[in-house]
């Protein structure tokens, strides 16, 4: 089973969602994230937000949807990028409408992080 979190730049929301999924997913899941216009870098605010909860986002990389090692996902979760979200083949699709936090201050950014964590935990509860 695999899950792909998608957004535009793959530097904020989808990176944090991937991190939380890796923290909480059952072992049989492969977790990925990607973007339609990947920036190639992880936002320093995302790195800081995840460091605050003891997760090292420096181990991740921002990648394009074309760089994924799979051709189809069991689950694709788009993070609120609307028409800019990449279309990736999946058995099931979900849309989480999070605002892009890249221009928020760190405290506001962390609120988005916390909500992403809740969504990830709820997602695993709903599919189990």
What is the Cα–Cα distance from 78 to 98, expressed in whole angstroms? 9
The one catalytic residue among 81, 112, 116, 120: 81
CA angle 119, 48, 40 (to 5 degrees): 85
**16 among known catalytic residues:** no
Largest CA-CA distance found in the chain, in angstroms, rounded = 37
The one catalytic residue among 7, 19, 21, 57: 7
**7 among known catalytic residues:** yes
Q: What domains, with CATH codes, occur in the chain?
A: 2-127 (3.40.50.2300)
The one catalytic residue among 85, 112, 116, 120: 85
The mean pLDDT of the chain is: 94
Ranges under pLDDT 70 in the chain: 83-84, 86
Taking the whole predicted model, whether its pTM rises above 0.75 is answered as yes
Q: How confident is the model over 95-120, as pLDDT tens digits? A: 999 999 999 999 999 999 999 999 99
């Amino acid at each position: 089973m695999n899950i792909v979190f998608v957004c535009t730049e793959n530097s904020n929301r989808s990176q944090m969602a991937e991190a939380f999924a890796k923290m909480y997913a059952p072992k049989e899941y492969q977790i990925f994230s990607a973007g339609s216009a990947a920036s190639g870098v992880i936002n320093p605010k995302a790195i800081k937000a995840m460091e605050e909860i003891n997760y090292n986002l420096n181990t991740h990389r921002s990648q394009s949807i074309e760089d994924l090692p799979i051709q189809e996902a069991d689950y694709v979760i788009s993070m609120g990028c609307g028409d800019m979200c990449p279309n990736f083949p999946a058995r099931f699709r979900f849309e989480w409408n999070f605002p892009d936090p890249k221009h928020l201050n760190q405290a506001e950014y962390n609120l988005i992080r916390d909500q992403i964590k809740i969504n990830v935990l709820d997602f695993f509860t709903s599919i189990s």
